[in-house]
Amino acid sequence: MPAALPPALLATLHAADLAALLLLWAAWTALGWLSEHPPKGRPSVTAMMAGVRRDWMREFMRRENRIFDAQIMASLRQGSAFFASTAILAVGGVLALLGNVEPLADLAAEIGQDGAPALQWQIRLIPAALLLTAAFLKFAWSNRVFGHASVMMAAVPEDPANPLAAPRAARAGELTNRAALNFSRGLRAMYFALASLAWLAGPLALAVATAVLTASLARREFASVPRDVLAEGEGRR
């Protein structure tokens, strides 16, 4: 028979905690899937921007002066590098708290939750650490794929009539889309890492934070002003 869970662990995890964690995981995965695979009649910002990037590469292929395109790509790489650095620093901060939960215990005492064991605070920080680690990996991979796209862009012949121009520009567009997709996944992981910190205040706070964040991110993807602007450009709402 499998070994029983340690009593200390059982004392810190209850059905409400497990339900709130399940909600967090379900919201994170479901929102990501829906953003990347939206209904045909209601495309998301993520889906429409993928088409815009393909259009960008088709225009890039026909442009004589490509300095502007190189500057955009450099800016995208800098953004992914910045967020990767931010994520790894945040991971370090959470790990430091895992090793010394006294500041959290002092805060808990101020809000009336004193007496909770240190193990409880450590367990409640683990989801944030895992999500921030996932964010770092996504940002790091995004940065590298943006680099691949930059090299592919440099390989596009200057003459748009060259038979290699269109296929290479198309591949550069797909690489750019893949990098942007990983960047979006990294941001989403950071958002949910912040929501997971609400677990420090209890499972109800975690559930509420997850619901509010999910609604906010869904609105940005499917009912925001930028989404409407993109939809107008595509001739659909």
Kindly list the domain boundaries of the chain, sorted by start residue.
Answer: 57-201
Average pLDDT of the chain to the nearest whole number: 88
pTM: 0.88
> Whole-angstrom Cα distance, residue 190 to residue 202?
20
Instruction: For the beta carbon of residue 79, count every other beta carbon within 10 angstroms.
Output: 15
What value, to the nearest 5°, has the Cα angle with vertex 62 and ends 56 and 67? 70
Amino acid 125 reads L
At residue 41 the predicted structure's pLDDT band, cuts being 50, 70 and 90, is confident
Closest CA to 136 of 179, 81, 175: 81
**Residue 180 and residue 56 in contact, taking contact as beta carbons nearer than 8 Å:** no
The pLDDT tens digits for 163-203 are 999 999 999 999 999 999 999 999 999 999 999 999 988 89
At residue 40 the predicted structure's pLDDT band, cuts being 50, 70 and 90, is confident
Question: CB under 8 Å to 63, separation ≥6 — which residues?
Answer: 69
pLDDT over threshold 50, residue 120: yes
pLDDT at 1: 37
pLDDT above 70 as % of the chain: 86
pLDDT at 97: 83
Task: Report, as an integer, the average pLDDT of 114-132.
Answer: 82
At residue 111 the predicted structure's pLDDT band, cuts being 50, 70 and 90, is low
Task: Report, as an integer, the average pLDDT of 82-101.
Answer: 90
Task: Report, as an integer, the average pLDDT of 2-12.
Answer: 53
Angstrom CA distances, 62 to 50, 65, 110, stand at 19, 9, 63
Angstrom CA distances, 70 to 75, 161, 164, stand at 9, 21, 20
Min mean pLDDT across 61-75, 129-143, 173-187 is at: 61-75
pLDDT at 6: 56
Q: Which residue has the higher pLDDT, 107 or 171?
A: 171
Backbone angles phi, psi at 38, to 5 degrees: -75, 165
